Amino acid sequence: MSFINVTAEYQPYIALIELNRPKELNALNLQLMAELRDALQQLDQDTQVRVIIITGNERAFAAGADIKQMAGKTAIDMLNLDQFSTWDQIRKTRKPLIAAVSGYALGGGCELAMTCDMIVASETAQFGQPEIKIGVIPGAGGTQRLTRAVGKARAMEMVLTGKFINAGEALRYGLVNKVVPVELYREEAVKLARQIAGMSPIAAKLGKEAVNRAFETHLDEGLHFERKNFYLAFASEDQQEGMQAFIDKRPPNYQGK
Ligand code: CAA
């Protein structure tokens, strides 16, 4: 892959995408988001990749949508740009996505981290939806995902005052999975990715899809969806391998088939 605003690194079964506009604190301009979408689409098809990590640098995961790119736009410009269709495509990534966050995860940066399935944060991470300070509101799912993650009272305060929360608060509120010293946050994300990559990639996709349904449907429909995905897992060789390995008392060897 050759991109300018994102870079990719590989380990067995794991791809790590780094947002790469460090001077602008990884502000998410249209080009970066298009490259991120393209990279994720390629990785989603790549059978050698089972888990994808999205990260920034120590100072910033991403400080939000690019304000300089948006500043002169009218409502109709924004409507015609339809930038959030790129976000919709990113959301449709079927493989597990982990955000490894250090420093600022603000506005669209916080929204991108929340679009991932799990967040590993460094102790220096700060999360916020400060759009109100520049006269707008979150546009890439922040009001919905933050509210589901941290509850109405905290989300309201963050969205209406623009207040940031630190990594410890984010952990207490259930926004992130773990918090580790800054020198370890990527390593910790890779560890988590490796754990998931050792599972059946088919079951991982089915499980991700079913958990996400919890936010999109009523209980009855969600339970029905889960059941269908559970039965579907029995169509995979990985299911036979996983259960046989348990019976044989040996580690499973999943092939994604
Ligand atoms: N867009 C464009 N440029 C940005 C940016 C952004 N979101 N955030 C930072 N930058 C740029 C700055 O303009 C600056 O560039 P110059 O050196 O050319 O001046 C560079 O990155 C470094 O930033 P600062 O000098 O401001 O660094 P700081 O340490 O003093 O402050 C900060 C850091 C608190 C994160 C501050 O940069 C800031 O408040 N950034 C904006 C945060 C924000 O409002 N995000 C929401 C954007 S709107 C959105 O995301 C909508 C949506 O839902 C999709």
Confirm if 62 and 99 have CB atoms less than 8 A apart: no
Say what the pTM is: 0.95
Task: Provide the CATH topology of domain 201-248.
Answer: Lyase 2-enoyl-coa Hydratase; Chain  A, domain 2 (1.10.12)
Q: Is 107 a catalytic residue?
A: no
What percentage of the chain has pLDDT greater than the value 90?
A: 95
DSSP β-ladder status, 97-101 and 118-122: parallel
Burial of 93: CB neighbours in 10 Å, binned 0-12, 13-18, 19+ = buried
Mean pLDDT of 135-154: 95
Ligand 1 center to 182 CA (angstroms):
21
- Point out which residues pair with 7 in neighbouring strands: 18
> Does 216 score more than 90 pLDDT?
no
* Pocket-forming residues, ligand 1, beta carbon under 6 Å: 24-25, 27, 63-68, 104, 106-108, 111, 130-131, 134, 138-140, 142
Check residue 1 and give its pLDDT. 66
- Between the alpha carbon of residue 246 and those of residues 7, 238, 240, the distances in Å are 39, 12, 10
User: What is the β-pairing status of strands 97-101 and 49-55?
Assistant: parallel
Q: Is 91 helix (H, G, I), strand (E, B) or coil?
A: helix
Q: In which residue ranges of the chain is CATH 3.90.226.10 found?
A: 4-197
pLDDT digits (tens, 9 = 90+) for 160-206: 999 999 999 999 999 999 999 999 999 999 999 999 999 999 999 99
**Of 156, 108, 143, 102, which is closest to residue 124 (Cα–Cα)?**
102
Query: Active-site residue 125, yes or no?
Result: no
**With bands split at pLDDT 50, 70 and 90, how would you rate the model's confidence at 145?**
very high
State pLDDT tens for residues 21-30. Answer: 999 999 999 9
**Ligand 1 atom closest to Cα of residue 65:** 50
Token output for 192 = 């988590």
Element spanning 11, H or E: strand 6-11
Residue 9 pLDDT: 96
Q: Nearest to residue 167, comparing CAs of 122, 129, 130?
A: 122
Name the least confident of 121-135, 141-155, 211-225, 243-257.
Answer: 211-225
Residue 250 three-state SS = coil
User: Which CATH code, of 3.90.226.10, 4.10.520.10, 3.40.50.300, 3.10.450.710, is assigned to 4-197?
Assistant: 3.90.226.10
User: What pLDDT, on the 0 to 100 scale, is given for residue 2?
Assistant: 76
Q: If you average pLDDT over residues 220-232, what whole number do you get?
A: 90
71-128 per-position pLDDT tens digit = 999 999 999 999 999 999 999 999 999 999 999 999 999 999 999 999 999 999 999 9
pLDDT tens-digit readout, 236-253: 999 999 999 999 999 999
Q: How far apart are CA 161 and CA 51, in angstroms?
A: 35
How is residue 52 written in tokens?
Answer: 């994808």
Average pLDDT over residues 7-20: 97
Residue 65 designated active-site? yes
